[in-house]
Copies of this chain bind each other. A is one copy, B any other.
């Protein structure tokens, strides 16, 4: 328990490192949220953190990595939404569960609006962050594909459609609405959006007598 190499040795020194890192992260979050990703500079962040210029580069590779660390909490919450169970017995149950997931997804956008505003900007600018976001996306799509295959096996869903293609399309629509919610550009409520998207997705826009 009192191993020298891991705890006592690094006591004060390691503590300083951790504190500096933390100061940088707190400052970065503030500066990012007060401005945007583009216009935020390392100088602003180190000034706010009260550390020297070079220090930022000791702890992080640059603006991108700073944001990636700040994104982590939000991303965890997305993963949680992605992993919700899906085992409907009927088409109605399926529709209900899908609508719930879509709602949860968009509500997350609302709750994490501030951070996601920055993330969206960063996706456009930074390769690393774009890659990070793609991971989230692929995880969702993979999960949705699985759900579709399940529904096809149990005879609920049409077997003639490529699950991966359908899953992508469905997620894309949700993702775009997610960012509309983040930008507060939507007129309709989250519930109505989720309901409408789900209705089209599950039963289609056209009448079938």
Contacts and interface: CB of A to CB of B under 8 A. Distances in A.
B206 A156 contact: yes
A28 interface: no
A165 B188 contact: yes
B165 A196 contact: yes
A165 B193 contact: yes
Contacts of A173: 169-170, 172-173
B202 A204 contact: yes
A172 B176 contact: yes
Interface in A165-209: 165-166, 168-170, 172-173, 175-177, 180, 187-188, 192-193, 196-197, 199-208
A204 B203 contact: yes
Interface residues of A, number: 44
Contacts of A196: 161-162, 165-166, 169
Contacts of A124: 121, 123-125
B177 A176 contact: no
A148 interface: yes
A71 interface: no
